Amino acid sequence: MADTSVAINRDQLLALSVFIAYFTAIIALFTTILRKIPLGPSGKHLQWKVVTPYGVLALASLAYTWYREQYKDMLAYMAWSFHNYETRTTSPLASSILLRVGNWLSETALFEEAWHLVCDDPVKWWWSEQICVFTAVWTVYVFEQARIRRIKHAWAFMLLGFMVSMAVAMNLFYLHVSLLPPLPKTDRKKGEERRKPDNGPPKLLSACVLASLITVIAMPSLITTPYFLHNLLLMHILLLVPLLLPSRDDHRPRDTSMLYAILALMAFAIRIRSTKAVFDLLNPSYNLTSLPTVSSEALGATWTILHWHPAQASIGWDVIWFTASFFIWRGSTEEAQNSYFAEEVTSAIALVGFGGPVMAGLLSKQ
């Protein structure tokens, strides 16, 4: 039975405004980032040899996480959520599509709903956890490179990753890093080069990224509690804070090796725990003898769950794309190969994030 009323109430109007503001903010972030892409040495032309690979990776990851012919990912998730709302609602449906969308948005917490869908099971969380852990580590790299290369609006890359795709944001940031060399000593403040090098990263940065990993650890235990959304928001805010606050120090490189080592150890421990949770779910009584069989079952389960829902496909393929992008960037320049970020994080996160899905895909076809 359709309701012929066409008046939009305050809640519907607010929900529609927020929805429109979300896409407006995405456009604004893309505009802010793309306008800051450095030109070549002449100051007139882009260095297409650098722009092309990261541009292609950014576009490909955007297409895979937001719209694909087979799974349609993020856009399909919104369509699914709308249909799911209208299926379960007991209220009469409005005759106007605008009112129906307004009702859906005002009565559905899309952000929380999407994260619940990808966190409420050990196999689903195995995928989602990777992007949370990697983003925490990547925050250190963004902070560090933005300082020594004076990349403006570093927060925009992180916020774009939160709102669109971490793989898209990562490739756009790699593009800026590749086009902007570190500041020469002559460009730094007078007398700066005579000062002793800093011992480590800012305390605020270290505290925020370490605290964000604690929120990641707590996520599975909070999924059925009222604190789940609070923990989720805290995780995102902690990673934005260091990039939002203005830097009051110089632009010299800092020694971040110890922080990366701590993050890598924490990440490795977190991934072992989540992988064990998948094994326990599939076969609670597994042992060393049955470990190969359980491992094969786990890989198959992770590949299958990747495509069970548009929200899961979106975040899962984001994991695959940002890990692939990480390896490409790592092998692209000598600087990347010598980076603590590359050396220490690869073994802890990237091999699990990329190698696992690839093996799962191969095994699922056998």
- Classify the phi-psi angles of 125: left when phi > 0, otherwise alpha if psi is within -120 to 50, otherwise beta: alpha
CA-to-CA distance for 209 and 339, rounded, in angstroms? 18
Average pLDDT over residues 59-81: 74
Q: How confident is the model at residue 265 (pLDDT cuts 50, 70, 90)?
A: confident
Burial of 6 (0-12, 13-18, 19+ CB in 10 A): exposed
Mean pLDDT comparison of 92-101, 142-151, 338-347, highest-scoring range: 142-151
What is residue 137's three-state secondary structure? helix
Does pLDDT of 57 surpass 70?
yes
**Can you give the pLDDT at residue 155?**
94
Q: Minimum mean pLDDT among 61-75, 111-125, 138-152, 215-229: which range? A: 61-75
Given a contact cutoff of 8 angstroms between Cβ atoms, the answer to whether 352 and 164 are in contact is no
Given a contact cutoff of 8 angstroms between Cβ atoms, the answer to whether 45 and 39 are in contact is yes
Q: Minimum mean pLDDT among 45-49, 81-85, 319-323, 326-330: which range? A: 45-49
Dihedral sign, Cα of residue 120, residue 122, residue 126, residue 129: positive
The position carrying tokens 């909070």 is: 222
Closest CA to 96 of 35, 12, 39: 12
**Can you give the pLDDT at residue 362?**
41
CA-to-CA distance for 96 and 157, rounded, in angstroms? 37
Q: Which residues pair with 3 in a beta bridge?
A: 94
Q: What would the two tokens of residue 237 be? A: 């805010």
Q: Angle at CA 349, nearest 5°, toward 229 and 230?
A: 10
The number of beta carbons lying within 10 Å of the beta carbon of residue 63 is 16
Q: How many residues does the chain have?
A: 366
Residue 64 or residue 331, greater confidence? 64
Given a contact cutoff of 8 angstroms between Cβ atoms, the answer to whether 325 and 171 are in contact is yes
Residue burial 254-289, b: 16+ Cβ < 10 Å; e: rest? bebeebbeebbebbbebbeebbebbbeebeeebeee
Q: What H or E segment, with its residue span, contains residue 2? A: strand 2-3
Does pLDDT of 70 surpass 80?
no
Q: List CB contacts of 272: < 8 A, sequence separation 6 or more.
A: none
What is residue 339's three-state secondary structure? coil
Q: Which residues pair with 2 in a beta bridge?
A: 93
